[in-house]
Amino acid sequence: MYVHFFSVWNIALFNLYFLLTLPRHNRKIIKWAAAQAIVALLILPAVLLAYQWSIVYESISANSWSLRPDAKSALITFKAFFAGYSASSRVYWPVFFLTTILFLWGLFAHRRRKNALLVLVFTVLPIAANVIIWRVRDFPFYEHRIFIFSAALCYCAVAFGIVSLPWKPLRIVTTPLLIMLILPTLHDYYAQNLHPLQTHRMGVRYKVANRDAAAFIASQWRDGDFIGHASHFTLFPFYHYLPNAPQSALRLTEGERRGFLQALPNEALWERYHAIPVRAELATKSARRIWLVESWWEPFDPPSIVKDLRDWLDSHFTRESSRAFDGVAVYLYVRSPSPVS
């Protein structure tokens, strides 16, 4: 709960499972109630913090981080457990159908055992409930990666299905077939061949080459240099890789500052981490050289304000060099010599 608010679902679902199977262990009610009371007390600070953040999320007015989920989102989430966020639809469709059949067969084959109900509760209910919750709320925060715990139990159910297949040769063939189908989707993920539709990759971002870009700047660093960022998506990684370098996110207008804060209305938090964009002319006024680091939330589809910032630097400084990395570009500007009167 202290590192991942959504784990509160696990606690709630364990209690639901206990109630659904109460006749099997009604002698443990007092011990169970005492244990859950201790759990509730220990997680109370995290619950209150989650409630405060929920208020922050509901106050977001600029745009949505994720799409509003629907029934299809639940099916895509199940697909993502086994096929990831691959763009190779010809592969993930067979993976989806095969794992769905094995999942359902595994639950059916173990229907008389306790673990079948437990797996069903922990896989179907949190996905369905989250689809409903984030569909009716003003700010949707549905992401496939929320359901890591459910994914693990889905793997168990598929394993149940494989070992419960009635014909031994079928059991022997199914596992390598499933692995062969999954391997291309793993390759797509590590090759950043992500699905073009956001519904298939909600909560997943391209891993841009911030480390390589930071190393490149560090290799050519001089006294008086300054790093300006087109967005905070590169600012935080560069704070890590170049902690002693003067740097900040840049903006051209007051509207950009307002839009930044509307995307997550917690100004005190942004100020604490020095992430609020600074007007470009103020941030660069004493710099001898300016490094512009250019990327965005969607690094291969940046908005027009990114180009506007680059155009502003082109008009006020002299561009000396540029270099493109995977999902991030670096530009070096030098201050133009003052005209001789």
Whether the CB-CB separation of 293 and 330 falls below 8 Å is answered with yes
| Cα distance between residue 295 and residue 235, in whole Å | 10
- Residue 78's pLDDT is 95
Mean pLDDT of 17-23: 88
Mean pLDDT of 15-34: 89
Place of tokens 């306790």: 114
Nearest to 304 by CA among 249, 254, 230: 230
- Within the chain, where are the H helices? 8-20, 29-58, 71-83, 89-109, 114-136, 148-163, 168-190, 210-219, 232-241, 254-263, 267-272, 280-283, 304-316
Retrieve residue 179's tokens.
């692995």
Q: What is the pLDDT of residues 206-256, one digit of tens each?
A: 999 999 999 999 999 999 999 999 999 999 999 999 999 999 999 999 999
Q: How many CB atoms lie within 10 A of CB 4?
A: 12
Asked which of 17-31, 53-67, 129-143, 295-309 is least confident by mean pLDDT, the reply is: 53-67
**C-alpha of 219 from chain center:** 31
- Residue 237's pLDDT is 96
Retrieve residue 171's tokens.
């059991």
- The domains of the chain are located at 60-200, 210-334
Structure confidence at residue 3 as a pLDDT band (50, 70, 90): confident
Structure confidence at residue 268 as a pLDDT band (50, 70, 90): very high
| Cα distance between residue 121 and residue 115, in whole Å | 10
Q: What is the pLDDT of residues 297-339, one digit of tens each?
A: 889 989 999 999 999 999 999 999 999 999 999 999 998 765 4
Rg value, the chain, Cα = 25
HEC assignment per residue over 243-305: CCCCEEEEECCHHHHHHHHHHCCCHHHHHHCCCCCEEHHHHCCCCCEEEEEECCCCCCCCCHH
- Residue 89's pLDDT is 87
- Residue 141's pLDDT is 86
Mean pLDDT of 255-275: 92
Structure confidence at residue 59 as a pLDDT band (50, 70, 90): confident
Q: What is the pLDDT of residues 83-141, one digit of tens each?
A: 999 998 889 999 999 999 999 999 999 888 777 888 999 999 999 999 999 998 888 88
- Residue 337's pLDDT is 64
| Cα distance between residue 52 and residue 49, in whole Å | 5
- Residue 101's pLDDT is 96
SS3 11: helix
Whether the CB-CB separation of 188 and 194 falls below 8 Å is answered with yes
Q: What is the pLDDT of residues 163-209, one digit of tens each?
A: 999 989 999 999 999 999 999 999 998 899 999 898 998 888 899 99
Q: Is the confidence at residue 341, as pLDDT, over 50?
A: no
